[in-house]
């Protein structure tokens, strides 16, 4: 009888994150579900025990690794669409579906870039523009989302600093003010 292999992480991985492929990932911290905010941070290392995770992932919002602090109501407006899009692509790749859960959600680097881009677009937008942002975001190819994330992160990627300037502002306008019919 083979011994059971110890889980790599005590926290479940989401949307195809696999530390055996790469340690680089994004963390979507949905906290206890009661917090008014959702936190998204970018990391180049994974930690295998819960105590170390608390040290590494409970980072201040001023940290350079913190990419988004999004209000819970805005998160709730996009969560299902994001999950559907990611799961559709995972199914095409032959992977099991996933969902966001309370607490830490580890997601692969490329999905993290795409999610963060959408969050930057809606973080200060009129709530009525969120459906437009979702439709425009879905209209972009993943490669276009990755490129926009990379350009934006290089200039204004920290969660709070320069939130309404440069590329962040341009992403918001590009995804929320593009004249499309959402009906």
pLDDT of residue 21: 66
- The answer to whether position 4 is within a domain reads no
- The answer to whether position 91 is within a domain reads yes
- The answer to whether position 169 is within a domain reads yes
- The answer to whether position 98 is within a domain reads yes
Question: What's the mean pLDDT in 29-46?
Answer: 89
- The answer to whether position 5 is within a domain reads no
Least confident span in 92-96, 130-134, 154-158: 92-96
- The answer to whether position 117 is within a domain reads yes
Phi, psi dihedrals of residue 106, rounded to the nearest 5°: -85, 125
pLDDT of residue 2: 43
Distance between terminal CA atoms of the chain? 58
What's the rounded Cα separation, in Å, for the pair 84 and 91? 10
pLDDT of residue 181: 58
Cβ 41 vs Cβ 132: under 8 Å: no
Range of the structural domain that residue 44 is part of? 25-176
**162 contacts: CB under 8 Å, gap ≥ 6:** 155, 156, 168
pLDDT of residue 8: 39
The total number of structural domains in the chain stands at 1
More confident residue, 46 or 74: 74
- The answer to whether position 137 is within a domain reads yes
What's the rounded Cα separation, in Å, for the pair 34 and 85? 25
**pTM of the full structure:** 0.87
Percent of the chain with pLDDT over 90: 60
Q: pLDDT per residue over 71-130, tens digit each?
A: 999 999 999 999 999 999 989 988 888 899 998 888 999 999 999 999 999 999 999 999
- The answer to whether position 15 is within a domain reads no
pLDDT band at 5 (very low <50, low <70, confident <90, very high): very low
């Amino acid at each position: 009888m083979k011994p059971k292999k110890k889980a790599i992480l005590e926290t479940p991985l989401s949307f195809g994150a696999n530390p055996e492929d790469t340690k680089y990932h994004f963390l979507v911290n949905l906290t206890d579900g009661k917090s008014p905010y959702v936190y998204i941070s970018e990391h180049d290392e994974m930690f295998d025990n819960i105590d170390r995770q608390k040290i590494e992932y409970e980072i201040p919002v001023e940290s350079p690794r913190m990419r988004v602090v999004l209000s819970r109501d805005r998160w709730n407006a996009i969560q299902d669409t994001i999950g559907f899009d990611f799961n559709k692509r995972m199914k095409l790749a032959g992977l099991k579906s996933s969902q966001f859960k309370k607490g830490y959600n580890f997601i692969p680097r490329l999905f993290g870039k795409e999610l963060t881009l959408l969050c930057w677009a809606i973080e200060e937008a009129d709530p009525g523009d969120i459906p437009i942002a979702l439709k425009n975001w879905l209209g972009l190819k993943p490669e276009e989302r990755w490129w926009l994330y990379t350009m934006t992160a290089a200039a204004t990627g920290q969660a709070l600093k320069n939130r309404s300037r440069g590329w962040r502002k341009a992403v918001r306008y590009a995804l929320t003010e593009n004249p499309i019919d959402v009906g």
